[in-house]
Amino acid sequence: MNRFLIAAVVAPFAVLATAAAAQPGRGPDPDTDRDGKVTLAEFKAAQAQRTDRLFARLDADKDGRITQAEIEAAAKGRPGGRKGGQMLMRLDADRDGAVTKAEMNAAAERRFQAADANKDGWLSKDELEMMQQRMRGPARK
């Protein structure tokens, strides 16, 4: 279940956003106070920045909701764009046909909880690396 949850949250970013915006450890460092621990607040703040960038790219009508049509329009000509859009739409918790920032932020919190293996309330470097490995999936030969 955790692997599916992480994949459901991450895949849309990997396909539709830039690589830097898609993966922890790339782009802005979520450990803003440089104490070696990423708290839920730090993680949510980093995810909110990524969500804002994603919405700036995909929310064509600027109504605060990303629809399947907007995803498809943005993904035209991109390999895997349709699949990534389907993954993004899985975050539509209320099933209204659109994904909101609130739905994406709730998914980020679930992702943090899934990555916090020892349930101490923060993510260590090892937990962040494990999250990245899960996002990448099994190594292909």
What is the tens place of the pLDDT at every residue in 70-116? 998 988 867 655 666 788 899 999 999 999 999 999 999 999 999 99
Percentage above 70 pLDDT, the chain: 72
- Does 97 reside within a domain? yes
Total structural domains in the chain?
Answer: 1
Question: Mean pLDDT over all residues of the chain?
Answer: 80
- Does 101 reside within a domain? yes
Q: Domain residues for 7? A: 2-21+36-130
- Does 65 reside within a domain? yes
Q: Which residue has the tokens 């700036």?
A: 56
Q: Which residues contact 16 (CB under 8 A, 6 or more apart)?
A: 54, 57, 58, 71, 74, 75, 78, 81, 84, 85, 88
- Does 139 reside within a domain? no
Q: How confident is the model at residue 4 (pLDDT cuts 50, 70, 90)?
A: very low
Which of 109, 110, 111, 89 is CA-nearest to residue 100?
89
Which of 111, 119, 112 is CA-nearest to residue 5?
111
Retrieve residue 47's tokens.
């995810």
Q: Are 58 and 74 in contact (CB under 8 A)?
A: yes
What is the tens place of the pLDDT at every residue in 41-52? 999 999 999 999
In Å, the largest CA–CA distance within the chain is: 43
- Return the ∠ at Cα 17 (arms to 28 and 104), rounded to 5°: 80
Prediction pTM value: 0.69
Which has more confidence, 8 or 68? 68
What is the tens place of the pLDDT at every residue in 12-67? 444 343 333 334 445 568 999 999 999 999 999 999 999 999 999 999 999 999 99
Identify the CATH number of the domain in which residue 96 sits: 1.10.238.10
- Does 98 reside within a domain? yes
- Does 135 reside within a domain? no
